Structure formats: C-alpha cells, structure tokens
Structure 1
Amino acid sequence: MKKILQNLINGDISVEEAEKMLKTMQIVELEDFAKLDTGRDLRTGFPEAIFAEGKEEPELIKIIEECAKRGRVLITRLEETKYNNIEEKISNLQNDGYEFEYNRKARILLIKDGEIEKQGKIGIITAGTSDVPVAEEARVVAEEAGCEVLTSYDVGVAGIHRLFHQIRRMIEEDVKALIVVAGMEGALPSVVAGLVDVPVIGVPTSVGYGVGAGGFTALNAMLQSCAPGIAVVNIDNGFGAAVFASTIVKQIDRKGQ
C-alpha cells in the first residue's frame, strides 16, 4: 500500500491506476483454484487461515508458500497423514527462518516467524477429554491471535465438583472471556454462565451417541440455555470460538488504553 501511494505522490501512476491497484492488491489469485484474501487482517484483525480439508496436496503446498511470503501461516483441519506428506515439500520455508509447530490433536499447523506478544486472557474449559481436540484448536488460534490462554479440561457436569476450583482460578487470573466446549447433552456452558460475569462462548462438539450423535443435541441445548451471557458457535468450531473470544479481549484492551 505504501509503495502504491508513494508512486502516486511521485507521479509515476495516475489516481485511477492507484485506485485500481489498491482495490486488487487484497486478492492474490493462484491459478484457477484459490484466491487469497491478503487484506483480511487489516479489515478484521485476524488473517486468513488455510482450511486444509478438501484441498489436494499440490494445491495446499502452493497456497502455503504464497501465504508465507506475507508472514505467519495458520493451516486448520490438517490431518496428520497429510501433514507428513507435505512437510518435506515445504521445508524450504524453514530455511527462510520459519518454524513449524504441528498440533496433532487440534489438527493445526502453525508456520511461525517468532513469538507473538500476548495481551489479554481467555479461559478454555472442556466437559470431557473427548472434547479436547476442539478445545486445542481454540487454544492454538487464540494464542495466534495474541491472547494468553488458560485451560482446564475434563471438568464436566458428571463430576461438577471439579469445576468450581477451575472457574475460581480463571476469574482470579482475570480472564475476559470463557470458551466452554461440550458434547453429549451440552450442559456445561449454561452452568458456567450462571457463575461468571464474563462472556461465555459455547462450543458444541460432535461427541455423543444415540440422540446426541453429531452434536446437534449439544447445539440445541446451548441455544436453548436459560443462563444469559452465552454465545454459541457451530458444532466443533473451535476456530470460530477463538476468533470471537479474541475479538472481545482486544476490544476490552483497546478501551482500557
């Protein structure tokens, strides 16, 4: 953007040319299979992530390499087998100073160029151990968004005595939002929302069987909650919960400055 504006000031391009370049610079086209939204970070505060499901390995490699030209890269829903297949083919990025950090449970690959300064805290709670993969997706994304994350896993309503100490710890640590991940009957976000004065983001998971299969019972229970202060994202959407929570934290931090 600075280069375009400088060329305009220098008289190297016209106003019309500058306008066209500014409109098109936010989209990078890769052949006929991908259009990268390079301006999303400026518009929304969080850069475009690469969703790995459904992408052929050669396509995924090209997208990763193009995104890496602009900085850190986050690839979600990347199965371990596919990661093992592409790891060597993108190893040239490590020669450029990038580090690979793959989280098998979260199915996320982070290609990073250093550590991010943390500001603001988010708490993540899961009902059961089976909900941890979705929670880990939320944790990695929230940390990549620049938030410090506190976690407490397997503290659901089946043994509710486990929950209270963990909530007390997070409130004492001054978390600004809580992500609560639960499958089965999805009761935990309602319980948590009745105990805290910070926003609660409920994440239903597809953990369950019988009438709870696929996560729809948990989703409906969270949407029907009688406890105020809950927002609910889609089933297994740890990514969306983390971006929403980090947006809340950043707004609070901005107002406090």
Structure 2
Amino acid sequence: MHSTLEQRLSDLKHLPRPIYGQTEALPNKVIGYRHSHPWVQFSYAISGVLEVQTAQGRFIAPPQRAVWIPAGIKHRVQCSLHTQIRSLYIDNKVLADAPATCRVVEVSPLLKELIRAFGELPVEYDEGSAEGRLAAVLLDQLTHAPDMGLMLPLPTDKRLLKIVAQLQKHPDTSDTLSQWAQRLHVSEKTLSRLFVQQTGLTFRLWRQRLRLLNALPLLEQKHTVTEVALACGYESISAFIAAFGEHFGSTPGEFFKT
C-alpha cells in the first residue's frame, strides 16, 4: 500500500483534481529521510501520534489533529505505534489565503466527516457536480482549520543546537542554562537572549513545551500519568498535571478520551 501510493505521487506531474487523497488510512510508517512535495500535504492522525519534522521545528499531531505542510517544505515523518494516517494533497493553484507555514491544526467533527466522505469519491471526481461542491467545502475547511500551537521551534545557532539535541534525547535532564553556559564557554545572558530570539520562547518555556509534547505519545500508549511525568522530567506529578492543563486545556488522563 505504501509503495503504491508513493509511486503514484512520484509519477504525477500534476494532481488529477484540486484535492487528491487516499481512500483508506495508512498504518504507521516512519519516513526517516527529508523529502518534499510540489503540493500542499495535509496529514490527519486518525489514531496514534503523528510527528512531522522540518528545519523550523517539530510538529506533533495527536488524534483528531493534522499537520498542514506547504508545498516545497522539506520534512520527515515519524509516528507512534499503531498510528493511522489519512493524507490529502492540494494543488497550490486553488489556494488563495492558505497558511504558508507548517502547522498543527484541529480536525473538527465537520472536517472529519468531510474527509471521510471525500475518501469515497473517485480520484477524478466531477468538479461540476455535487462531488465538486463537496470538495470545495472540504478545501475551505482545510485552509481555515484553527492552529493548535503544537509545535516545538528549533534554533539555528550551533550552541543552542547542542543544547536542544541533548534535551530532546533526555527531556528529564534538569541541567540549568547556567550549567550549559559553563560547558559551552559562553555567558548565560547570551544563551538566554538567543533562545528568545530564535525560538520565541525562553529556555524554561522551551524545555517545558518539549516535555509536554514528548508526553503525548507516552500517554497515547497508555503509560500512567506518574510514569509519563517522571519520564518527562517532572519530580512533582501535580506540577506536570498543572502544566499539561495550562497548555492543552485538559488533564493528561482526559486528553485522549476527548
């Protein structure tokens, strides 16, 4: 199934219709190399946790969220176990005010049903019929889906890259920015300024977002809240629950139920 879809996409010089998509959800697949498409890609996580990585950051999509990937953006994809993905590809020519940056968006109940219904249409659907009108409504909903903010921005400074690489491998580490400054032979003030300048977040907030986003696959895999909190570097379970609720508007236990 994977190779057939990829072959079809690589063979296409243009999309047969403004929106092109698969009729069935694809199971978990890791695409470890960076690649891009000449069309917008909309990858929807039906179940599991989908992650898209670009030079700008990591975009994490739990169930009922999707990643909007503009045309030409080099990216790679990885998923948690048992993830099910449905992808749509959109011709740039039909996009007027669509997002120009990669983002994680909400899949509302309406959008979910539109994606399901569109998947039942033939590839070369009749644009002048009810099929075309359904595709037009779907396109409008896709381009106006609200941004969920589930993105971890990545810096470009070599010193910061050393820090974030280590933190991504070991999110539970409690090393301070001062300790990092000593190791890298630079002032803490310089590192602090660069973090805000290149990520829009302070070091503390960046690490907190990393930990919270890393918690999502673990929670989806049914690890206990205590296990997840400790794995993500929280010594206090209540602190983890409070931070999670502030960021996601839900408790860790309720997040995947909704």
Considering only CA atoms, is the larger Rg found in Structure 1 or Structure 2?
A: 1
TM-score bin, normalised by smaller chain: under 0.3
More helix by share: 1
Output the TM-score relative to the length of structure 1.
0.26
Structure scoring higher RCO (CA < 8 A, sep ≥ 6) equals 2
